[in-house]
Amino acid sequence: MLKALKIYRFKGVREFELSDLTDINILIGRNNVGKSSVLEALYLASAAFELEDPLGRGDKITYLLNRRGERGLTWERGKEALWYGYDDSEAIRIELELGRDRIIDIWLRGDHEHPSISLEPGSTEPILFCRHCQMYYHQARWGQAVPLESVMKKAAMDKVVLESMEFFKGMAFIDTTLLRNIKRAEEKLWTPLLMERLDKLVLEVLKTGYNLPIEDLTYAYFGGMVQLVAKLPLTSIRVDDLGDGARYAIVMVMAAALAKNTALLIEEPESHQHPGGLARTLDMLLTLAEKNRTQIFMSTHSIELVRLTEAIGREKGLGVATFFLERDEEGHVDARRIRPSDRQLLADMGLDVRFLDMI
Amino acid sequence: MPFLQLKPAEELFLKIARDLMRLDALVLCEGARDAELLKLVAGEPGIRLGITDCGGIREVYEIGRYVAALARLSRRLRSLGVLVNADEYKPVERADGIVRSLREHGIETGDLEPISEDLFRAQVEGRPLIICVAGRMDLPVDGHCIEDHVLMALISAGELELDDVKRLSEELRRVALIRQASPKVDAKDILDVMGLDPVMEVRRLLSSRPGDVRRAFSKLVRLVKELRGTTPR
């Protein structure tokens, strides 16, 4: 589990430190304070271990370059969009603490022809990853490709690092862009979900949280192609035609069901959600997080989400931490940890925790 | 700059949401009436001063929890104020109780320094905490509270005699004993039996005898002055 993180020179964040992370971590704060950037930074860090997006969106770095603007940016043309102030002269650095003496330092360098990420896992020799050729190198011997396994052997990468790799490789970034193209996530996730019959969990959430009397989910030919459809008592309906709230819930639950010993990064889970649907989806996400030992990071503007997560987390014995983020003019992001009891005390005093920058 | 009263939260929501509000200092009162009276009598604060209450909690330990949360979570507040009723304690005992509660909640407070007989200064997380203990010890009542000052304003305005207060207190104690209720009498009971609403009375007196009101509530005025003094503008 991630205990603490530090981010330098990434997107809108010049510098940011966050500690006391727990099972479920909620990021709140005004617009443009860096909540999404924190999720994106973790996702970028995961690219050091697995370049391909687990939800079918291609390579992670290109996805990060394009997820908002969709302007076809590439590493060669527009990589500086990832850097704070568009200045790629210094590496983006993401330092992640997975436990005592378990720190992984990830660098994204702009001065190479191809994006490369170096891993400096404390006790071992620094390793550089070249995205272009998908090879690992000894940093000191740049140009001499060494297969990962051999580097691992040579540098005696310990168990801790291997566990860390498992943690980062499985990391999924769930955002509302998936609603525009649920097909990719469906293609990636549905079969493995069926193999473990985890589709039942999706069905359960849709039935109980979204007022849909769905009997089953299956594939049907429609418009000359195979599409996922929900079987209702009298008819069937394409998943594409369900409401946005239900579709976002499907993506979240599918990803959470398959994630194990890793982290889920979820941008605004409350998007398009009625509180009833949100409560049911959160309940399932937290159940799966507990079962699969998955850490969750969520950004939100919803006080309902904070309250529901705290309550469900308490029921399930999971730690829930809410962090209020604020950014100064120079890009330094500050986080204040708000305990559930603090939120209630502030509410008693008429202070909405989302406006903590008032005080 | 007027006061910003944080409660009721629903009324303030639009203002907070639409305007980027930042506070310099915040006063935490025991109850809504204390907050309302402070706002009325203290005049223009001259700083961005928020006033709120902790919903009528009277246990000093609990008030300390609220102050501790503010001290821990705030980044912008230059100073904090607490307005509590003396009740049946000496002002210094009341102020000391708050400081002890803060320490028990893990907040560094420094030493408690008296500013006056019923106004005290401590430190919370490196910023001044001004504690104002409401109540007039010279009134013949059993528990002292902010409504003591309303009675004093009525006395200063010549609308009430100290002997009336004494007489009403004794009568109320007698009635309480007959009813086998607590014989403790405070200014709230006296205003109640006189059919007077404290906030309405202060509003009325402010329009005709503002000097008397400010004198009667001088410690509250001083509280705001102290907070202003500790807040660079």
Distance from CA of B72 to the nearest CA of A (A): 9
Beta bridge partners of A135: A130
Confidence grade of residue A123 (pLDDT, cut at 50, 70, 90): very low
Task: Tell me which residues of chain A, numbers 295 to 324, contact chain B at a CB-CB cutoff of 8 Å.
Answer: 324
List Cβ neighbours of B205 (8 Å cut-off, separation of 6 or more).
B153, B154, B157, B212, B213
Q: Any CB–CB contact under 8 A between B6 and chain A?
A: yes
Beta bridge partners of B50: B4, B26
Q: Any CB–CB contact under 8 A between B32 and chain A?
A: no
> Do B54 and A348 make contact, defined as CB atoms within 8 angstroms?
yes
* CATH number for the segment(s) B4-136+216-229: 3.40.50
Q: For residues B40-52, give the mean pLDDT.
A: 90
Encoding tokens for residue A23? 């099972």
Q: For residues A173-199, give the mean pLDDT.
A: 92
Q: Any CB–CB contact under 8 A between B26 and chain A?
A: yes
* pLDDT at position A257: 96
Chain B residue numbers with beta carbons less than 8 Å from the beta carbon of A355 are 16-17, 21
Q: Running DSSP on this structure, what letter comes out for residue A232?
A: P
> Do B22 and A357 make contact, defined as CB atoms within 8 angstroms?
yes
Q: What is the tens place of the pLDDT at every residue in B146-161?
A: 999 999 999 999 999 9
**A196 SS3 class:** coil
**Number of cross-chain residue pairs from A and B with Cβ atoms under 8 Å apart:** 63
Mutate which: A28, A337, A355, A359, vs B, most B CBs within 10 A: A359
What is this structure's pTM?
Answer: 0.89
The beta-carbon neighbor of B70 closest among A324, A347, A359 is: A359
* pLDDT at position A221: 93
Q: Is pLDDT of A154 > 50?
A: no
Percentages helix, strand, coil for chain B (3-state, rounded to 5) are: 50, 20, 35
Cα–Cα distance list, A189 to A183, A195, B195 (Å): 10, 10, 72
Q: Is pLDDT of A296 > 70?
A: yes
Distance from CA of A82 to the nearest CA of B (A): 29
* Alpha helices (H) along A155-198: 159-169, 182-195
Cβ-contact A212, A233 below 8 angstroms: no
Q: For residues B198-222, give the mean pLDDT.
A: 95
Backbone φ and ψ for B122, nearest 5 degrees, come out as -135, -175
The beta-carbon neighbor of A349 closest among B17, B22, B52 is: B52
Cα(A133)–Cα(A75) distance, integer angstroms: 14
Distance from CA of A268 to the nearest CA of B (A): 19
Q: Any CB–CB contact under 8 A between B69 and chain A?
A: yes
Q: What is the tens place of the pLDDT at every residue in B48-100?
A: 999 999 877 778 888 999 999 999 999 999 999 999 999 999 999 999 999 99
> Do B75 and A326 make contact, defined as CB atoms within 8 angstroms?
yes
Higher pLDDT, A120 or B154: B154
Encoding tokens for residue A179? 């609603």
> Chain-centre distance of CA A251, in angstroms?
13
Q: Is pLDDT of A132 > 80?
A: no
Q: Is pLDDT of A156 > 50?
A: no
Chain B residue numbers with beta carbons less than 8 Å from the beta carbon of A358 are 16, 21-23, 50, 76
Cβ-contact A352, B11 below 8 angstroms: no
Please state, for a pLDDT cut of 70, what percent of chain A lies above it.
Answer: 85
Radius of gyration of chain B (CA): 18
Chain B residue numbers with beta carbons less than 8 Å from the beta carbon of A341 are 69
Q: Any CB–CB contact under 8 A between B79 and chain A?
A: no
Q: Any CB–CB contact under 8 A between A358 and chain B?
A: yes
Q: Any CB–CB contact under 8 A between A347 and chain B?
A: yes
Average pLDDT, chain B: 91
State chain B's maximal CA–CA distance in angstroms: 57
Q: Is pLDDT of A268 > 70?
A: yes
Question: Is the dihedral angle over the CA atoms B194, B196, B198, B201 positive or is it negative?
Answer: negative
Domains of chain A, each with CATH number or no CATH = 4-123+158-358 (3.40.50.300)
Q: Is pLDDT of A140 > 60?
A: no
Question: Is the dihedral angle over the CA atoms A48, A50, A54, A56 positive or is it negative?
Answer: positive
Cα(B192)–Cα(A141) distance, integer angstroms: 87
Q: Any CB–CB contact under 8 A between A32 and chain B?
A: no
Encoding tokens for residue B19? 């305007």
Cα(B128)–Cα(B124) distance, integer angstroms: 6
Distance from CA of A36 to the nearest CA of B (A): 21
Q: What is the tens place of the pLDDT at every residue in A195-226?
A: 999 999 999 999 999 988 999 999 999 989 99
Mutate which: B51, B73, B77, vs A, most A CBs within 10 A: B73
Q: Any CB–CB contact under 8 A between B51 and chain A?
A: no
Q: Is pLDDT of A135 > 60?
A: no
Q: Any CB–CB contact under 8 A between B72 and chain A?
A: yes
Q: What is the tens place of the pLDDT at every residue in A270-280?
A: 999 999 999 99
Encoding tokens for residue B104? 């028990």
Q: Any CB–CB contact under 8 A between A351 and chain B?
A: yes
Residues of chain B with CATH 3.40.50: 4-136+216-229
Q: Any CB–CB contact under 8 A between B18 and chain A?
A: no
List Cβ neighbours of A300 (8 Å cut-off, separation of 6 or more).
A26, A27, A28, A268, A269, A270, A306
Q: What is the dihedral of CA A290, A292, A296, A301, to 10 degrees?
A: -70
Beta bridge partners of B114: B120
> Do A351 and B13 make contact, defined as CB atoms within 8 angstroms?
no
Cα(A42)–Cα(A1) distance, integer angstroms: 13
Q: Is pLDDT of A160 > 80?
A: no
Print burial letters for B65-98: b (CB count within 10 Å at least 16), e (below 16): bbbbbbbbbbeebbbbbbbbbbbebebbebbbbb
Q: Any CB–CB contact under 8 A between A354 and chain B?
A: no
Radius of gyration of chain A (CA): 21
Distance from CA of B129 to the nearest CA of A (A): 15
Chain B residue numbers with beta carbons less than 8 Å from the beta carbon of A345 are 54, 65-66, 69
Question: Is the dihedral angle over the CA atoms A249, A255, A257, A261 positive or is it negative?
Answer: negative
CA angle A46, A325, B109 (to 5 degrees): 125
Cα–Cα distance list, B50 to A15, A133, B35, B62 (Å): 31, 59, 10, 20
Cβ-contact B149, B217 below 8 angstroms: yes
List Cβ neighbours of B100 (8 Å cut-off, separation of 6 or more).
B64
Mutate which: A324, A328, A341, A345, vs B, most B CBs within 10 A: A345
Chain B residue numbers with beta carbons less than 8 Å from the beta carbon of A352 are 9, 13, 16
Chain B residue numbers with beta carbons less than 8 Å from the beta carbon of A338 are 73
Q: For residues A26-52, give the mean pLDDT.
A: 93
